[in-house]
Amino acid sequence: MDRIRVPVIAVDGPTASGKGTVAQRVAQQLGWHYLDSGALYRLAALSALRSNTPLSDQQRIAALAAALPCNFNGAAVRLSGVDVTDAIRAEEIGNAASKIAALPAVRQALIGLQLGFRQAPGLVADGRDMGTVIFPGASLKIFLTASVEVRAQRRYKQLIDKGFSANITDLLRDLNERDARDAQRTTAPLKPAEDACLLDTSDLSVDQAVSQVLRWYAQRSD
Ligand code: DC
Protein backbone atom coordinates (compact mmCIF):
# COMPACT_ATOMS: atom_id res chain seq x y z
CA MET A 1 0.00 0.00 0.00
CA ASP A 2 1.14 3.53 -0.75
CA ARG A 3 2.60 4.77 2.57
CA ILE A 4 0.59 7.99 2.46
CA ARG A 5 -2.62 5.93 2.38
CA VAL A 6 -1.77 3.86 5.46
CA PRO A 7 -4.16 5.04 8.21
CA VAL A 8 -2.70 6.74 11.28
CA ILE A 9 -4.17 7.41 14.71
CA ALA A 10 -2.18 10.18 16.41
CA VAL A 11 -2.16 10.17 20.22
CA ASP A 12 -0.55 13.28 21.70
CA GLY A 13 -0.41 14.61 25.22
CA PRO A 14 1.78 15.57 28.16
CA THR A 15 4.19 13.27 29.92
CA ALA A 16 2.68 10.44 32.02
CA SER A 17 -0.83 11.13 30.67
CA GLY A 18 -1.20 7.41 29.94
CA LYS A 19 -0.91 7.90 26.18
CA GLY A 20 1.76 5.19 25.80
CA THR A 21 -0.36 2.53 27.46
CA VAL A 22 -3.53 3.59 25.65
CA ALA A 23 -1.82 3.93 22.24
CA GLN A 24 -0.14 0.51 22.55
CA ARG A 25 -3.42 -1.15 23.48
CA VAL A 26 -5.26 0.52 20.59
CA ALA A 27 -2.50 -0.67 18.21
CA GLN A 28 -2.77 -4.22 19.60
CA GLN A 29 -6.56 -4.30 19.22
CA LEU A 30 -6.41 -3.05 15.63
CA GLY A 31 -3.37 -5.20 14.76
CA TRP A 32 -1.46 -2.04 13.76
CA HIS A 33 2.13 -0.84 14.24
CA TYR A 34 3.01 1.41 17.15
CA LEU A 35 5.40 4.38 17.23
CA ASP A 36 6.65 5.63 20.61
CA SER A 37 8.16 8.87 19.33
CA GLY A 38 9.22 9.89 22.86
CA ALA A 39 11.53 6.85 22.85
CA LEU A 40 13.41 8.36 19.89
CA TYR A 41 14.01 11.61 21.80
CA ARG A 42 15.03 9.53 24.82
CA LEU A 43 17.46 7.48 22.67
CA ALA A 44 18.99 10.65 21.24
CA ALA A 45 19.35 12.03 24.79
CA LEU A 46 20.95 8.80 26.01
CA SER A 47 23.39 8.86 23.07
CA ALA A 48 24.29 12.46 23.88
CA LEU A 49 24.84 11.76 27.58
CA ARG A 50 26.87 8.61 26.89
CA SER A 51 29.11 10.46 24.45
CA ASN A 52 29.50 13.45 26.82
CA THR A 53 27.88 15.75 24.29
CA PRO A 54 26.57 18.93 25.95
CA LEU A 55 22.73 19.01 25.75
CA SER A 56 22.94 22.45 24.18
CA ASP A 57 25.13 21.29 21.25
CA GLN A 58 22.36 21.29 18.64
CA GLN A 59 24.45 20.24 15.64
CA ARG A 60 26.20 17.31 17.33
CA ILE A 61 22.98 16.00 18.86
CA ALA A 62 21.17 16.38 15.53
CA ALA A 63 23.94 14.31 13.91
CA LEU A 64 23.54 11.63 16.60
CA ALA A 65 19.74 11.67 16.11
CA ALA A 66 19.99 11.42 12.32
CA ALA A 67 22.01 8.20 12.60
CA LEU A 68 20.57 6.56 15.72
CA PRO A 69 21.68 2.89 15.63
CA CYS A 70 18.38 1.81 17.21
CA ASN A 71 16.17 -1.18 16.83
CA PHE A 72 12.63 -1.83 18.14
CA ASN A 73 11.34 -5.32 18.78
CA GLY A 74 7.94 -5.29 20.51
CA ALA A 75 8.52 -3.39 23.76
CA ALA A 76 12.31 -3.92 23.63
CA VAL A 77 14.58 -1.09 22.44
CA ARG A 78 18.23 -1.50 21.51
CA LEU A 79 20.89 1.13 20.91
CA SER A 80 24.04 -0.07 19.14
CA GLY A 81 22.85 -3.62 19.86
CA VAL A 82 22.60 -3.03 23.64
CA ASP A 83 19.23 -3.39 25.38
CA VAL A 84 18.26 0.07 26.70
CA THR A 85 14.53 -0.62 27.24
CA ASP A 86 14.70 0.31 30.93
CA ALA A 87 17.65 2.73 30.76
CA ILE A 88 15.72 5.19 28.55
CA ARG A 89 12.84 5.29 31.07
CA ALA A 90 14.93 6.93 33.82
CA GLU A 91 13.66 10.41 34.79
CA GLU A 92 17.10 11.87 34.08
CA ILE A 93 16.80 10.67 30.48
CA GLY A 94 13.21 11.95 30.17
CA ASN A 95 14.29 15.40 31.33
CA ALA A 96 17.29 15.41 28.97
CA ALA A 97 14.96 14.28 26.14
CA SER A 98 12.65 17.21 26.84
CA LYS A 99 15.66 19.60 26.64
CA ILE A 100 17.01 18.32 23.33
CA ALA A 101 13.45 18.12 21.92
CA ALA A 102 13.39 21.93 22.00
CA LEU A 103 16.24 22.05 19.43
CA PRO A 104 14.78 22.44 15.90
CA ALA A 105 17.66 20.58 14.16
CA VAL A 106 17.15 17.58 16.45
CA ARG A 107 13.41 17.47 15.68
CA GLN A 108 14.18 17.74 11.97
CA ALA A 109 16.73 14.90 12.21
CA LEU A 110 14.11 12.53 13.67
CA ILE A 111 11.37 13.15 11.07
CA GLY A 112 12.44 10.49 8.55
CA LEU A 113 12.75 7.80 11.21
CA GLN A 114 9.22 8.58 12.46
CA LEU A 115 7.65 8.59 8.98
CA GLY A 116 9.23 5.17 8.38
CA PHE A 117 6.93 3.62 11.02
CA ARG A 118 3.90 4.31 8.80
CA GLN A 119 3.42 0.81 7.45
CA ALA A 120 0.35 -1.24 6.50
CA PRO A 121 -2.12 -2.05 7.87
CA GLY A 122 -1.92 1.08 10.07
CA LEU A 123 -0.01 3.04 12.69
CA VAL A 124 -0.83 4.34 16.14
CA ALA A 125 1.70 7.11 16.81
CA ASP A 126 2.24 8.53 20.29
CA GLY A 127 4.03 11.77 21.16
CA ARG A 128 3.61 15.54 21.33
CA ASP A 129 3.41 16.57 17.68
CA MET A 130 2.06 13.48 15.92
CA GLY A 131 -1.20 15.16 14.88
CA THR A 132 0.18 18.67 14.43
CA VAL A 133 3.50 18.12 12.57
CA ILE A 134 4.48 14.52 11.74
CA PHE A 135 1.14 13.06 10.61
CA PRO A 136 -1.12 16.11 9.99
CA GLY A 137 -3.35 13.96 7.76
CA ALA A 138 -3.99 11.35 10.49
CA SER A 139 -7.43 9.70 10.32
CA LEU A 140 -7.99 10.39 14.01
CA LYS A 141 -6.17 12.73 16.39
CA ILE A 142 -6.46 12.30 20.13
CA PHE A 143 -5.13 14.68 22.77
CA LEU A 144 -4.88 12.73 25.99
CA THR A 145 -4.59 14.54 29.31
CA ALA A 146 -4.90 13.87 33.02
CA SER A 147 -4.44 16.12 36.04
CA VAL A 148 -0.83 16.71 37.08
CA GLU A 149 -1.47 14.87 40.40
CA VAL A 150 -2.81 11.77 38.64
CA ARG A 151 0.14 11.87 36.21
CA ALA A 152 2.66 12.13 39.06
CA GLN A 153 1.06 9.08 40.73
CA ARG A 154 1.19 7.12 37.46
CA ARG A 155 4.84 8.06 36.83
CA TYR A 156 5.69 7.13 40.46
CA LYS A 157 4.17 3.68 40.00
CA GLN A 158 5.92 3.19 36.61
CA LEU A 159 9.31 4.09 38.08
CA ILE A 160 8.90 1.95 41.22
CA ASP A 161 7.72 -1.01 39.09
CA LYS A 162 10.90 -0.66 37.00
CA GLY A 163 13.09 -0.66 40.13
CA PHE A 164 13.97 3.08 40.06
CA SER A 165 13.66 5.16 43.23
CA ALA A 166 11.08 7.96 43.09
CA ASN A 167 9.60 10.73 45.19
CA ILE A 168 6.19 12.31 44.51
CA THR A 169 7.24 15.88 45.38
CA ASP A 170 10.21 15.76 42.99
CA LEU A 171 8.06 14.13 40.31
CA LEU A 172 5.39 16.84 40.54
CA ARG A 173 8.07 19.52 40.16
CA ASP A 174 9.69 17.68 37.22
CA LEU A 175 6.35 17.13 35.46
CA ASN A 176 5.42 20.80 35.80
CA GLU A 177 8.83 21.88 34.48
CA ARG A 178 8.69 19.39 31.61
CA ASP A 179 5.10 20.39 30.67
CA ALA A 180 6.13 24.05 30.59
CA ARG A 181 9.21 23.34 28.44
CA ASP A 182 7.31 21.05 26.03
CA ALA A 183 4.41 23.51 25.68
CA GLN A 184 6.45 26.72 25.41
CA ARG A 185 9.13 25.73 22.88
CA THR A 186 8.82 27.46 19.52
CA THR A 187 9.22 24.36 17.33
CA ALA A 188 6.35 21.85 17.45
CA PRO A 189 5.12 22.77 20.94
CA LEU A 190 2.85 20.41 22.84
CA LYS A 191 -0.69 21.50 21.95
CA PRO A 192 -3.83 19.79 20.66
CA ALA A 193 -4.29 19.76 16.88
CA GLU A 194 -7.28 21.91 15.90
CA ASP A 195 -9.18 18.79 14.91
CA ALA A 196 -8.12 16.67 17.91
CA CYS A 197 -10.57 14.84 20.19
CA LEU A 198 -9.74 15.67 23.81
CA LEU A 199 -9.67 12.77 26.26
CA ASP A 200 -9.13 13.42 29.98
CA THR A 201 -8.14 10.10 31.54
CA SER A 202 -7.92 11.32 35.18
CA ASP A 203 -11.01 9.28 36.11
CA LEU A 204 -10.90 6.65 33.35
CA SER A 205 -9.47 3.15 33.44
CA VAL A 206 -7.15 2.08 30.61
CA ASP A 207 -9.98 -0.08 29.20
CA GLN A 208 -12.37 2.88 29.17
CA ALA A 209 -9.84 5.14 27.45
CA VAL A 210 -9.01 2.48 24.83
CA SER A 211 -12.73 1.87 24.13
CA GLN A 212 -13.32 5.59 23.65
CA VAL A 213 -10.48 5.87 21.12
CA LEU A 214 -11.75 2.82 19.21
CA ARG A 215 -15.29 4.26 19.24
CA TRP A 216 -14.03 7.56 17.81
CA TYR A 217 -12.06 5.70 15.16
CA ALA A 218 -15.15 3.68 14.16
CA GLN A 219 -17.18 6.91 13.95
CA ARG A 220 -14.62 8.95 11.99
CA SER A 221 -15.93 10.60 8.86
CA ASP A 222 -13.10 9.94 6.33
O1 DC B 1 6.68 10.79 25.93
P2 DC B 1 8.03 10.81 26.65
O3 DC B 1 7.94 11.23 28.10
O4 DC B 1 8.74 9.51 26.49
O5 DC B 1 8.89 11.91 25.88
C6 DC B 1 10.14 12.36 26.36
C7 DC B 1 10.38 13.79 25.89
O8 DC B 1 10.55 13.79 24.46
C9 DC B 1 9.26 14.77 26.17
O10 DC B 1 9.44 15.47 27.38
C11 DC B 1 9.28 15.71 25.01
C12 DC B 1 9.95 14.95 23.91
N13 DC B 1 9.03 14.56 22.82
C14 DC B 1 8.76 15.50 21.86
O15 DC B 1 9.20 16.64 21.97
N16 DC B 1 8.01 15.16 20.78
C17 DC B 1 7.50 13.94 20.66
N18 DC B 1 6.77 13.63 19.59
C19 DC B 1 7.74 12.97 21.66
C20 DC B 1 8.50 13.31 22.75
Quick: pLDDT tens for 12-25. Answer: 999 889 999 999 99
Sheet of 76-79: strand order equals 70-73, 76-79, 82-83
What's the gap in Å between 96 CA and the centre of ligand 1? 10
Q: Which atom of ligand 1 is nearest to the CA of 130?
A: 18
Q: Which stretches of the chain drop beneath a pLDDT of 50?
A: none
Quick: pLDDT tens for 87-98. Answer: 999 989 999 999
pLDDT at 221: 64
Distance CA 199, CA 39 (A): 22
Distance CA 59, CA 93 (A): 19
Percent of all residues in the chain with a pLDDT value above 70, rounded to a whole number: 99
Q: Are 213 and 30 in contact (CB under 8 A)?
A: no
What's the gap in Å between 97 CA and the centre of ligand 1? 7
What's the gap in Å between 37 CA and the centre of ligand 1? 7
Q: Apex CA 188: angle with CA 29 and CA 7, to 5°?
A: 30
Distance CA 99, CA 23 (A): 24
The CATH number that domain 3-217 falls under is: 3.40.50.300
Among the listed residues 7, 11, 31, the one whose alpha carbon sits nearest the alpha carbon of residue 20: 11
